[in-house]
Amino acid sequence: MTFTWEYDRAHDDLLRLYRLGKERQWNAETRIDWAHEVDPDNPLGMPDEFIWIAGTPLWDGLDAKERSTVRVHTAGWLYSQFLHGEQAALMCAAKIVQTVPDLDAKFYAATQVMDEARHTEAYQRFLNTKIGVTYPISDALGALLATIATDPRWDITALGMQVLVEGLALASFSIQRDRMRDPLARAFNAYVLQDEARHVAFGRVALRRFYAELTEAELREREQFAIEACWALRDRFVGEEMWRRLDLGAEECIRLSRRSPAMREFRRRLFSRIVPTLRDINLFGPSMQAAFEQMGVLGFSRLDIGAVGDEDERAAAEFDRRRAEVSGFIDRGAQPPEESP
């Protein structure tokens, strides 16, 4: 636990995130339309192209009931991992409050604790009331989170959670917001994304300042941790536990999942966030670049990190604007305006 007794030193970028964190709190009980009835055979409204084995002879050989089972279990596996990740983020944010040296960073991390508690509450409710299928934490995610949560250094916790796991969250939740057809899943994840974009921004701001002061050896140690985590994020989140439970030929399903168009879309969204962020915080030495080249994602280092981060902030702000507009018309007993194309 690290106390700081310096109250005069202020970092405007962290204080801005703290103000946003205070202003954009929302109540999952009232903001989300929990009365909405989902399709029990496809609770997320998931298009077939986001089923990892779709478009293969294996999928073509399944009957309608078997396909429905795969859709429901895919939703259950995904949202179970979201739930486990949010609880870990809750614990890590609380740890950062205790261990980060700057008071401004403690202020912001305190708002993230509330964010993560809300997300954990909401994903648990979504799983229990809308999907009805749950899974334990995956081996890959569990191992990564254990490393992040138990390392005594605040920056390793922040690097693992704020940059890598939150990057995973941004990729996954943006797919839910943009590509799922059920309005509850889309709305729910749009609100969560509004919070997650701030979390990644906090990690980038705090770590960029801290890593500017580290030695070359200390930076390379952090790089190696990030490289190993990126390989796990790239290759080991394909529903292994789900495929083994469904008994459709687990190894073949895992192989197909790794090569699927849906997984390529996920990896594109994931590394378009992680790669430029690691470059921005000065974890981009020869070993990191070589690993990204081997993964086939080095080209993402040329992206403007501000543009990538602002994308979700803009989308969430637009969602809030639309929500307020519709609520205003409802309060006045009028019909809301039609959506623009």
Domain 12-25+41-325 is of which CATH architecture?
Orthogonal Bundle (1.10)
Query: Phi-psi region for residue 207, left (φ > 0), alpha (ψ -120 to 50) or beta?
Result: alpha
Q: ∠ CA 235-239-245 to the nearest 5 degrees?
A: 145
Q: Answer whether residue 307 shows pLDDT above 50.
A: no
Q: Answer whether residue 255 shows pLDDT above 70.
A: yes
Q: Answer whether residue 247 shows pLDDT above 60.
A: yes
Instruction: Identify the pLDDT of residue 327.
Output: 43
Which tokens is 211 given?
A: 């890593």
What would the pLDDT profile of 116-156 be if each residue is shown by its tens digit? 999 999 999 999 999 999 999 999 899 999 999 999 999 99
Alpha helices in 212-260 (DSSP H): 216-235, 240-246, 250-258
Alpha helices in 100-150 (DSSP H): 103-126, 139-150
Global pTM?
Answer: 0.85
3-state class of 127 per DSSP?
A: helix
- Domain spans in the chain, listed from the N-terminal domain onward: 12-25+41-325
The position carrying tokens 């543009």 is 307
Closest to 94 measured CA to CA, from 169, 39, 149 = 149
Q: For a pLDDT cut of 70, what percent of the chain falls above it? A: 86
Q: Answer whether residue 314 shows pLDDT above 60.
A: no
Closest to 260 measured CA to CA, from 231, 276, 239 = 239
What would the pLDDT profile of 272-289 be if each residue is shown by its tens digit? 999 999 999 999 999 999
Is the separation of the CB atoms in 239 and 257 below 8 Å? yes
